[in-house]
């Protein structure tokens, strides 16, 4: 075998071993830390408590068609969204149509969410979805014990 072929085989074998070794260690685990750790020191995180109840939030938001107002009644129980009633004042027929279509989807997505958990935006209703998430946050802020 020629010297070039031997070098090529050696380099290829090295690269294959390197790739295999790297792939075996890609488990989403920080290789500098043991796989299971228990934090026994460090800053203590204060758990925020929330009062159960119904919170009414009205949120105005601008769309290309004008100013809309989202009106929500949000029931919080055990630090989670239990129910949402959504109404609003819409600036145009288009906004009314979008938000009436949005309502059932986004309300269903909100059920069971906790503090700082955003509801995924509904396609075609980005501005309304943003106002909805801001309203949920405001309800949780009001509910802080």
Q: What confidence tens digit (pLDDT) does each residue in 31-75 have?
A: 444 443 344 555 665 677 899 999 999 999 999 989 999 999 999
pLDDT cut 90: percent of the chain above it: 57
Query: Is 97 part of a structural domain of the chain?
Result: yes
What is residue 34's predicted lDDT score, i.e. its pLDDT? 40
Closest CA to 92 of 58, 121, 138, 127: 127
- Range of lowest pLDDT (23-27, 65-69, 105-109): 23-27
pTM above 0.85, yes or no: no
What is residue 26's predicted lDDT score, i.e. its pLDDT? 38
Query: Is 5 part of a structural domain of the chain?
Result: no
pLDDT band at 90 (very low <50, low <70, confident <90, very high): very high
Hunting for tokens 């009414």 — which residue is that?
56
Query: Total structural domains in the chain?
Result: 1
Return all residues near 102 (Cβ < 8 A) that are at least 6 apart: 122, 125, 128, 129, 132
Structure tokens at 47: 């758990």
Query: Is 14 part of a structural domain of the chain?
Result: no
CATH number, residue 105: 3.90.1010.20
Closest CA to 84 of 139, 128, 125, 121: 139
Query: Is 120 part of a structural domain of the chain?
Result: yes
Q: Is the pLDDT of residue 101 over 60?
A: yes
Query: Is 39 part of a structural domain of the chain?
Result: no
Q: Give me the domain span that covers residue 88.
A: 53-143
What is residue 41's predicted lDDT score, i.e. its pLDDT? 57
DSSP 8-state class, residue 2: -
- Collapsing DSSP to helix, strand or coil, 105 comes out as helix
Contact 91, 66 (CB under 8 A): yes
Q: What is the mean pLDDT of residues 90-103?
A: 92
Query: Is 59 part of a structural domain of the chain?
Result: yes
Query: Is 70 part of a structural domain of the chain?
Result: yes
The gap from C-alpha 68 to its chain's centroid, in whole angstroms, comes to 24
What is residue 47's predicted lDDT score, i.e. its pLDDT? 75
Q: Is the pLDDT of residue 17 over 60?
A: no
């Amino acid at each position: 075998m020629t010297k070039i072929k031997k070098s090529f085989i050696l380099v290829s074998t090295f690269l294959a071993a390197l790739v295999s070794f790297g792939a075996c260690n890609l488990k989403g685990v920080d290789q500098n830390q043991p796989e299971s750790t228990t934090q026994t020191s460090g800053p203590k995180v204060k758990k925020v408590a929330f009062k159960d109840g119904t919170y009414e939030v009205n949120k105005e938001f601008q769309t290309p068609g004008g100013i809309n107002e989202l009106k929500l009644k949000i029931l919080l129980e055990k630090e989670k969204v239990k129910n949402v009633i959504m109404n609003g004042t819409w600036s145009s027929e288009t906004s009314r149509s979008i938000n009436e279509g949005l309502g059932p989807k986004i309300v269903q997505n909100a059920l069971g969410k906790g503090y700082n958990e955003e509801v995924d935006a509904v396609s075609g209703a980005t501005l309304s979805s943003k106002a909805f998430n801001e309203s949920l946050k405001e309800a949780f802020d009001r509910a802080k014990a």
